[in-house]
A and B are shown apart, each in its own frame.
Chain A
Amino acid sequence: MSVDKDTVRRIAHLARVQVAEEKLDALAGEMNNILDWVEQLNELDVTDVEPMTSAVETTLHWREDKVTDGNKAEDVLANAPDAEYGFFSVPKVIE
């Protein structure tokens, strides 16, 4: 499985990271180096192996279904690059 320039462009868009056209080739090369190297996992037969879901044996704890936090609009907005009238502000999304 080899990554080409178009794949990098598509992946970069999926990840919402702008990549300059002239950098796509170099990035494809770097990604292929890493992906070629992880190919060695194919030497292993993992047919009957369960994928790990937790590093240590544990069960998720339960708690009562009630609100434990909130009313912190000011804290939540305090670090926003742009906030108005108690809301996050973003570029216009509807024409």
Chain B
Amino acid sequence: MTDLTRLTIAGARDGLKKGDFSARELTSAHIAELEAARALNAYIVETPDQALRMADKADQRLKEGDAPGLCGIPLAIKDLFCTEGVLSTAGSHILNGFRPRYESTVTANLWRDGAVMLGKVNMDEFAMGSSNEHSHYGPVKNPWRAKGSDQDLVPGGSSGGSAASVAAHIAMGATGTDTGGSIRQPAALTGIVGMKPTYGRCSRWGVVAFASSLDHPGPFGRTVRDTAIMLGSMAGYDAKDSTSVNRPVPDYEAGLGKGVKGMKIGVPKEYRTDGMPEEIDALWQKGIDWLRDQGAEIVVVSLPHTKYALPAYYIVAPAEASSNLARYDGVRYGLREKVDGGGLDDMYEATRAAGFGDEVKRRILIGTYVLSAGYYDAYYLKAQKVRTLIANDFHSVFKKVDALLTPTAPNAAFPLGDKLDDPLAMYFNDVFTVPANLAGVPAISVPAGLTGDGLPLGLQVIGKAFDEETVFTVGQAIEDAADFTAKPEAWWRD
């Protein structure tokens, strides 16, 4: 039998339907691989027993001919999604021991469609970070290493465990969340596909909140088609999330393969930043040529407020985070620090000091400051106005073009520890991804090439609100032309 962990989701689905192998066999193969890959630290919780139970149920459905697209497909779930009865930590010590009594809408949709949960994967604490080094459960290692080097690299973040598990073939796909780039940047740094849909497409209900107006659940896969299949299951209206959008979800997979002939693709000139590495600039140009060769018209466009996106984000996101994270009080769930002879406030302060990591504390303090009396107008209100300008930039270019092509990240994977002491350098990793969060528009990262050192780089396609189909189409055109077949060497295996 072929190695079942090398299949795509689409390939495995077809094999399962033909009866070439069972869901139990497919899931068992992945459990064996992930147990041999603990050196990556991708999983916080492994759920092999539950996975096999779910696989058996999927086999039953396959036998009965009631098999939706994801029936029997083993997935990794970012530990930001609440899963009923299974430890859900958000990568934080403050959610120590938390086992939700409910299931997030997105994961419930996946289970409805027959998917199998392999476990909960590692992440930056409360999704704050771009390297997965800010996790209470330790950093995730990128499956990729530079040519001839044994130095450990970061997988990107915050969905580092999701990205690493898909890249290392210890999950067929994964859920992620993207608040400022947390799906697309790790996808780029690990050579896989990551998709952030339009704001409101995927319900946030049961997803631990970071910055509610910017949080987007979305899928990771090894192909554009696989992410289209996953998004089709994850998306949909949910009355339990007041920002969920009540629109029909198109059949994303059926929409693939249309090609970019006759499309207008915008290249935003402001994304050519000072000091952009030569290799990234060259790859971007290659992407432009690929789309032109396939019949697209390339248009240079301007998004004049791009440089203000990152500073506006670092006001809005911490402000919303400081408010959302107020709920961790040591009373209702998770950690509680007892203070001898202390009162309620002492308990709150001690619990939050012990439960939150340094980056989370930094953002809570910034957020509290920018929302505090006398500063609200100067910071938060101003940032929300800048956000309007950034969204307007997108609205006006999308009158002229169907989609935009940019690099995903300003660099390839970097060594563990490299940017830990410099928050601003870390924040800069999201310079190309943050604008799409501020505007709520869909975007995908597709692996498109390797650096001279042999590390993966991604290109990003950004589309109009609710036009994920065009984003997938252009993403697939890049994927076809790039023919990215490189794989990391399995150094992590026991």
- Report which A residues bind B (CB closer than 8 A): 1, 3, 7-8, 11-19, 27, 30-31, 33-35, 37-38, 40-41, 43-44, 46, 49-58, 60-61, 63, 72, 75-76, 78-82, 88, 90-93
Per the bound structure, the CA–CA distance linking A37 and B322 in Å amounts to: 20
Across the two chains, which residue of chain B brings its CB closest to A42?
B382
CB distance from B282 to the nearest CB of A (A): 29
Which residues in A have their C-beta under 8 angstroms from that of B148?
A: none
CB distance from A82 to the nearest CB of B (A): 7
Query: Is B361 a contact partner of A17 (Cβ separation < 8 A)?
Result: yes
Given contacts A17-B349, A90-B331, whether A55 and B366 have CB atoms under 8 Å apart is: no
CB distance from A11 to the nearest CB of B (A): 5
The answer to whether the Cβ of B1 comes within 8 Å of any Cβ in the partner chain is: no
Interface string of B389-425 (1 = CB under 8 A from A): 1010000000000000000000000000000000110
Binds A, one of B40-48, B60-68, B151-159, B367-375: B367-375
Across the two chains, which residue of chain A brings its CB closest to B200?
A56
Query: Is B364 a contact partner of A17 (Cβ separation < 8 A)?
Result: yes
Partner of B348, one of A1, A16, A43: A16
Given contacts A52-B387, A93-B344, whether A88 and B375 have CB atoms under 8 Å apart is: no
Per the bound structure, the CA–CA distance linking A88 and B331 in Å amounts to: 7
Binds A, one of B95-103, B164-172, B253-261, B481-489: B95-103
The answer to whether the Cβ of B19 comes within 8 Å of any Cβ in the partner chain is: no
Query: Is B342 a contact partner of A91 (Cβ separation < 8 A)?
Result: yes
The answer to whether the Cβ of B336 comes within 8 Å of any Cβ in the partner chain is: yes
The answer to whether the Cβ of B352 comes within 8 Å of any Cβ in the partner chain is: yes
The answer to whether the Cβ of B385 comes within 8 Å of any Cβ in the partner chain is: yes
Tell me the dominant secondary structure on chain B's binding face: helix
Given contacts A17-B353, A55-B391, A79-B99, whether A50 and B366 have CB atoms under 8 Å apart is: no
CB distance from A94 to the nearest CB of B (A): 10
Which residues in A have their C-beta under 8 angstroms from that of B365?
A: 8, 11-12, 15, 17, 27, 31
Which residues in A have their C-beta under 8 angstroms from that of B389?
A: 44, 46, 49
Query: Is B101 a contact partner of A75 (Cβ separation < 8 A)?
Result: yes
Interface string of B312-355 (1 = CB under 8 A from A): 10110000001000100111111110010011111111101100
Across the two chains, which residue of chain A brings its CB closest to B367?
A15
Given contacts A31-B369, A44-B308, A46-B382, whether A16 and B343 have CB atoms under 8 Å apart is: no
- Could you tell me which residues of chain B, from 188 to 232, have a CB within 8 Å of some CB in chain A? 198-200, 213-214
Across the two chains, which residue of chain B brings its CB closest to A33?
B424
Given contacts A31-B362, A55-B199, whether A18 and B350 have CB atoms under 8 Å apart is: yes
CB distance from B472 to the nearest CB of A (A): 18
Query: Is A34 a contact partner of B343 (Cβ separation < 8 A)?
Result: no
The answer to whether the Cβ of B465 comes within 8 Å of any Cβ in the partner chain is: yes
Query: Is B239 a contact partner of A56 (Cβ separation < 8 A)?
Result: no
Which residues in B have their C-beta under 8 angstroms from that of A31?
A: 362, 365-366, 369
The answer to whether the Cβ of B311 comes within 8 Å of any Cβ in the partner chain is: yes
Which residues in A have their C-beta under 8 angstroms from that of B366?
A: 31, 34-35
